[in-house]
Structure 1
Amino acid sequence: MHILSACDYPTTPWKNGGGTTRQILIAPPGATLEDFDYRISMASVASDGPFSYFPGVDRQLLLLDGKGLLLQRGDGSNSLLQIDSQPLAFPGEEAITSQLQDGPVTDFNVMTRRGRYRQQTERLTVQGKLNVHSDDEVLLLMLAAGSTLEVYREDGRHCQLRTHDAVWQALAVGLTLFSAEGADVIVVRLNRQGAA
């Protein structure tokens, strides 16, 4: 179990140069935006504009804070992301332009190289105790909102997360989450393509 502190996330420029992102996790170690297997990040979006082009990459996006982000899709449709929205899945090569609804937002982004990894991302509300089963190659949890979150493993190890901190593990081990005051948690599951 690895604890990732929000204050330690490195900041990197967007692929299209239109802003910056805070990288939470990338694989393999030392990978770049051109050759990663998977990448998890969060970004502050302060202006309207096009998304970066990521051919061969599957993406999921959700909102961490802000009033909303309208995505104008390549097929002419629109998708509105808000705080209570579930993750939006789309291919990285899709032409998308974003429009802020009422001020800046912070988003959470999961990208996997198509054919190498598949992803599942969800948002959970934790009030009291919640068990999270895992038979995944990689499991990452991030405290999206709430003051603290207690995380316990089956082997007795535990940690405490603060807002935007994350914990990840590369073993299929279940976790127990606890929050007395209530917490908004993002769960990301990553598995190799073709794996059982």
Structure 2
Amino acid sequence: MPNVIIIEPSQYLRMPWKNGLGETLEIQRHEDKIGLRFRISQASVVENGMFSDFSGLHRTLVLLSGEGMTLGHKNGSNRQLNTLSKPLNMARFSGGDETHATLKNGKIEDLNIMVRDTDTQARIEAYTAPCSFSFSNNDTLFSGFYCNEKCTLEIDNGEVVNGEIVSVDAHSTVIFSKDTRVLLSQGSGVFIQVFASN
């Protein structure tokens, strides 16, 4: 359909973790002359342990499946705790924090969105059907919807009179290139929009 691209999990790029303790499925990545500007990826956490150091990036982590985990963050004398107990719970923290993950009861899957904290921001919202959301795509670096389960979306971006209904498989990502209104009639997922902050 016009102005929409669907990326399936088989198209994600499999990459080793920075700390060597696992691997991630890279969904989107953007680099410029300064370095990494943003990255969206999906990963499994199978054991308790420290997160990689991503100083200079702001992170949002969304629980996709599993019984949850607790994230403890330390930055100097500052401490923060996030408890993710059900799918689509999310934590926001600095990539430079010393972050330790403690699993509640075995493996979890998560979605990780990282943006450069000096000039980039992300709007990240979890949605469960039935609901609708809309957004402007002006001056954005990325706009997409990650489907955490099989989703049915009616996408109205002005190309079709009544919008077009699409069925998207679990763990696939829909990328938008125009201002869009989305009606989510089945499933759940995460809307991600990345844009310049200055």
TM-score range, shorter chain: 0.7 to 0.9
Whether contact under 8 Å (1:47, 1:104) holds in the other structure is: yes
Identity %: 24
Displacement of 1:84: 4.5
* 1:106 matches 2:95: no
Q: Which amino acid in structure 1 is aligned with residue 171 of structure 2? A: H
Matches within 5 A, 1:1-196: 1-28=4-31, 35-74=35-74, 75-84=78-87, 86-127=89-130, 130-136=132-138, 137=140, 138-145=142-149, 147-154=150-157, 155-156=159-160, 158=164, 159-171=166-178, 173-179=179-185, 182-194=186-198
Matched AA of 2:48 = D
Cα displacement (A) at 1:85:
5.2
Deviations 1:145-175 (A, max 9, x none): 2x3323423213754311011111344x113
Alignment partner of 2:125: what SS?
Answer: strand
**Amino acid of the residue matched to residue 52 of structure 1?**
S
How many residues align? The count is: 185
Distance 1:86 1:47 in 2: 19
Runs of 4+ in 1 over 3 A off after TM superposition: none
Per the alignment, in what secondary structure is the counterpart of residue 73 of structure 1?
Answer: strand
TM-score (norm 1): 0.85
* Structure with the higher fraction of residues in strand conformation: 2
- Residue 92 of structure 1 aligns to which amino acid in structure 2? G
CA contact (8 A) 1:87 1:122 kept: no
Query: Structure 1 regions of 5+ residues with no counterpart?
Result: none
Contact 1:141 1:186 in 2 (8 A): yes
Q: Report deviation, 1:73.
A: 1.6
Q: Could you tell me which runs of 5 or more consecutive residues in structure 2 were left unpaired when the two chains were aligned.
A: none
SS of equivalent to 1:93: coil
CA RMSD after TM alignment: 2.0
Q: TM-score, normalised by structure 2?
A: 0.85
